[in-house]
Amino acid sequence: MADLRNTFAGIRSPNPFWLASAPPTDKAYNVNRAFEAGWGGVVWKTLGEDGPPIVNVNGPRYGALLTPDRRLLGFNNIELITDRPLQTNLDEIRAVKRSWPDRALVVSLMVPCTEAAWKAILVRVEDSGADGIELNFGCPHGMSERGMGAAVGQVPEYIERVTAWCKTYSRLPVIVKLTPNVTDIRAPARAAKKGGADAVSLINTINSVMGVDPATLVMSPSTGGMGSHGGYCGPAVKPIALHMTAEIGRQRETAGLPISGIGGVGNWRDALDFIALGATNVQVCTAAMTFGFKIVQEMTDGLSEYMDSMGFETTAEFQGRALPTITDWQYLNLNSISKAQIDQVSCIQCGRCHIACEDTSHQAITAMKDGRRHFEVDEAECVGCNLCVTVCPVPDCLTLRTLAPGEVDLRTRQPVPAQAADWTTHPNNPMRRSAAV
Ligand SMILES: Cc1cc2nc3c(=O)[nH]c(=O)nc-3n(C[C@H](O)[C@H](O)[C@H](O)COP(=O)(O)O)c2cc1C
Ligand code: SF4
Ligand code: SF4
């Protein structure tokens, strides 16, 4: 029987599904309702230092990339950190934690990059009874122009320094939330670890511009006729977040550093991807903003059923299991050969596979046979690229088959070798290593 209980950076929660720091965790009213719905934990909407309240725009804060049938693919925002007074938030945090002692309550923080500013807020947060802190080094708009958020997250030395201050002035676990707006996520992750971070979480949002209104040629959405880049998130960013998660898990210096996976998690399958690639838990924002708090029920039920079907009792049993299956391109087995195949029974003869392969791949799918519409793969041309599988509208109608060793590849007329061979030893590689070495 699956046991979803989770411990992340020493913080316990009844399941690995947390709400990310964002509007869903902005106030006690929301967080209480989220916990009633079954969320295992929350990271409270980012708090800033005491002082004049944060000012948000009074126009559209959000934009979206939708499919033609209005399903949300990507989400963009130009919202800042909390615009509610610090003490109000801290009082609510204390009350919520008292009401929900079994749930994780982590507080996200972003203050100016000075030791005094961090010391001052850490004392007050620790006093609130929160379970941990998450350092928001990620917001790509508004706060970064004031030297906070991504402006810190893009400079590893700053990450290390601020993390070390937090470890000095707080006993709470420190989670460093990374920005994806860097060329190589491994450097900030290393800096977080060097600074003493207990864990990292990623990703925060990606710099983005959503588009232009065709009637006015003004950036859209706009506030009074002008727009600004915002942070992109939602289903479309998941592959980017997974890659970064795996890079941190694969890197020797950061292997084993606990990771909270964020970015496009909308169901239990998404969570499984993150956990199998090394995350201990996941955080969710856009999916909760689009569908409401109750989506967590599908997440916990789905993950439990999956674990039961696989014989896993805890998530630790499959955490990171897919990491060893990720390598660099040069080590892929060039002797592994695949061919597309079409199930003629389920094919609806729409022709999409033919057009895609004919126009942009290897002209390997027929459109006609004996004067009738008929779609069939010509293995003598097929390179197994997967394009037709991707465009076919019928599930499992078009699949790839891997040829067995010894089977003849009709394209090269050579039998498939039994031994694997990669680019490092390929005869066409001028830099190849001798197979004997
Ligand atoms: C409207 C909005 C506001 C956000 N505010 C914050 C914030 O205050 N602090 C923070 O660390 N991340 C903030 N985020 C980023 C989310 O916590 C999360 O990292 C990101 O949305 C990716 O997750 P998702 O794809 O599930 O939305 C915000 C995201 C959105 C959409
Ligand atoms: S796998 Fe690629 S090459 Fe083969 S039939 Fe499909 S689109 Fe064409
Ligand atoms: S895309 Fe799929 S359903 Fe359409 S013709 Fe090709 S195999 Fe058949």
pLDDT tens sequence for the chain (437 residues):
899 999 999 999 999 999 999 999 999 999 999 999 999 999 999 999 988 888 888 889 999 999 999 999 999 999 999 999 999 999 999 999 999 999 999 999 999 989 999 999 999 999 999 999 999 997 777 766 777 777 888 999 999 999 999 999 999 999 999 999 999 999 999 999 999 999 999 999 999 999 999 999 999 999 989 999 999 999 999 999 999 999 999 999 999 999 999 999 999 999 999 999 999 999 999 999 999 999 999 999 999 999 999 999 999 999 999 999 999 999 999 999 999 999 999 999 999 999 999 999 999 999 999 999 999 999 999 999 999 999 999 999 999 999 999 999 999 999 999 999 999 999 999 998 765 54
CA-to-CA distance for 381 and 378, rounded, in angstroms? 6
DSSP category for residue 424: G
How much is the pLDDT for 359?
98
The residue type at 428: N
371 CA distance to ligand 2 centroid (A)? 23
CA-to-CA distance for 288 and 124, rounded, in angstroms? 29
Nearest to 63 by CA among 305, 230, 296, 307: 230
Residue found by looking up tokens 């706060």 in the block: 143
**What is the best residue among 365, 375, 376, 379 to mutate for testing ligand 2's pocket, by most ligand atoms within 8 Å of CB?**
365
Measured from the alpha carbon of residue 295, the closest ligand is 1
342 lines ligand 2 (CB under 6 A): no
Q: Render 193-212 in DSSP notation, one character per residue.
A: HHTT-SEEEE--PEEE--EE
Residues framing ligand 3 (Cβ under 6 A):
342, 347-353, 375, 392, 394, 397-398
36 CA distance to ligand 1 centroid (A)? 21
What are the start-end ranges of the H helices in 38-149?
86-99, 115-127
285 CA distance to ligand 1 centroid (A)? 6
- What tens digit of pLDDT does each residue of 22-76 get? 999 999 999 999 999 999 999 999 999 988 888 888 889 999 999 999 999 999 9
CA-to-CA distance for 258 and 11, rounded, in angstroms? 11
What are the start-end ranges of the H helices in 16-67?
28-37
Global confidence as pTM: 0.96
Measured from the alpha carbon of residue 240, the closest ligand is 1
- What tens digit of pLDDT does each residue of 299-311 get? 999 999 999 999 9
141 lines ligand 1 (CB under 6 A): no
The residue type at 357: C
Are residues 72 and 65 in contact, defined by beta-carbon separation less than 8 angstroms? yes
163 lines ligand 1 (CB under 6 A): no
Angle, helix 295-310 to helix 268-276, in steps of 10 degrees: 50
Q: Does the annotation count 139 as an active-site position?
A: yes
